[in-house]
Amino acid sequence: MRVMERAYQHLLVDLSDRVAIIRLNRPEVLNALNLALVDELVDTLERLDRDDAVRCIVLTGNERAFAAGADIMEMAEAGVVEMKRRNQFRVWDRIRWITKPIIAAVNGYALGGGCELAMACDLIIAGENARFGQPEVNLGVMPGAGGTQRLTRLVGKARALEILLTGDPITAEEAYRIGLVNRVVPTEACLDEALRLARRIAEKPPMAVRLIKEAVYKALDTTLQDGMEYERNCFYLLFATEDKAEGMRAFLEKRRPSFKGR
Ligand code: HXC
């Protein structure tokens, strides 16, 4: 495993088998997401997205917390003018444009902004001890980074409203039952399971992976007919890649393909 040469304030970043691993690293406050952490995280995601050595990204915390939400210390004294001036969600919006798959490996608390961050990832592997929730209502506010929008699209109106209005966390099992997470594994196996999945994806042709991700997000944003046309154009585009030629040739020659990302 290569530790990526660069100084991080709130993250630990490694690269192994074309998979980058980002660990949120403010354990003393359960990885509360302060402004500096989110800036650093998004800058890092964008840098890894441009790095040809990286094909998939795993985002994780520690056994106690993925992230217990936005840093309440930073918000406690802030008024509306200050919050508007900070414009802190602009940086969150940039996560949407990361082209490589991001897998969240979630143990412990994923609350508020922590749950929103997990939902901003493409896939979620949960450890048995994971707890997902949107407790903002208990603080007199509401989610601001997708809690009402992504959660509703993922689990439907009734379940989203119950989670949002009560502020009560749900277990990993419940999160799996309602379709919020891909699978639940023993807590100690969570990161390994996410890495296993990431390595499988990292073996696939990168341009096909990228366009599949793009087309699925398009499905959430557009009509069926427009989405179908978008999909078709992505499909045609892949016929310009060397990896398409290699993939089909390898099939016909009954051997494993070797994809180059071209
Ligand atoms: C700042 C936090 C924090 C947070 C925990 N800590 N969550 N600090 N912001 N969101 C700090 C605690 O103050 C404490 O610091 C240390 O982490 C350990 O937490 P404890 O509360 O002592 O642990 P525990 O009793 O195990 O309770 C865990 C917990 C609780 C249930 C997760 O910490 C909690 O309810 N946290 C807040 C969760 C929340 O409301 N999140 C939503 C935030 S609003 P000290 O110094 O005392 O040891 C939000 C808006 C999103 O996310 C907007 C988009 C970004």
Q: Answer whether 243 contacts ligand 1 (Cβ < 6 A).
A: no
Contact 125, 181 (CB under 8 A): yes
| Closest-CA residue to 52 (of 236, 210, 200) | 210
**Cα(18)–Cα(76) distance, rounded to whole angstroms?**
40
Q: Which pLDDT does position 232 carry in this prediction? A: 98
Q: Which pLDDT does position 5 carry in this prediction? A: 60
Q: Whose CA is nearest to atom 16 of ligand 1?
A: 29
Q: Which pLDDT does position 201 carry in this prediction? A: 98
Q: Answer whether 143 contacts ligand 1 (Cβ < 6 A).
A: yes
- Weakly modelled stretches of the chain, pLDDT under 70: 1-5
User: E-assigned strands of the chain?
Assistant: 2-3, 11-16, 19-24, 56-60, 65-67, 102-106, 109-111, 123-127, 131-133, 170-171, 183-185
Q: Answer whether 32 contacts ligand 1 (Cβ < 6 A).
A: yes
Any residues with CB less than 8 A from the CB of 48 and at least 6 apart, and which? Answer: 20, 22, 54, 57, 100
* pTM for the predicted model, two decimal places: 0.97
Q: Which pLDDT does position 6 carry in this prediction? A: 75
Contact 195, 21 (CB under 8 A): yes
Q: Closest ligand 1 atom, CA of 38?
A: 55
**Which residue is catalytic, options 40, 116, 130, 194?**
116
What is the best residue among 24, 30, 139, 171 to mutate for testing ligand 1's pocket, by most ligand atoms within 8 Å of CB?
30
Q: Which pLDDT does position 3 carry in this prediction? A: 56
User: Which residue is listed with tokens 């208990």?
Assistant: 138
- Distance of CA 100 to CAs 58, 121, 167, Å? 10, 10, 32
- SS3 of 24, please? strand
Q: Which pLDDT does position 2 carry in this prediction? A: 59
Q: Answer whether 91 contacts ligand 1 (Cβ < 6 A).
A: no
**What's 96-152 look like in SS3?**
HHCCCCEEEEECCEEECHHHHHHHHCCEEEEECCCEEECHHHHHCCCCCCCCCCHHH
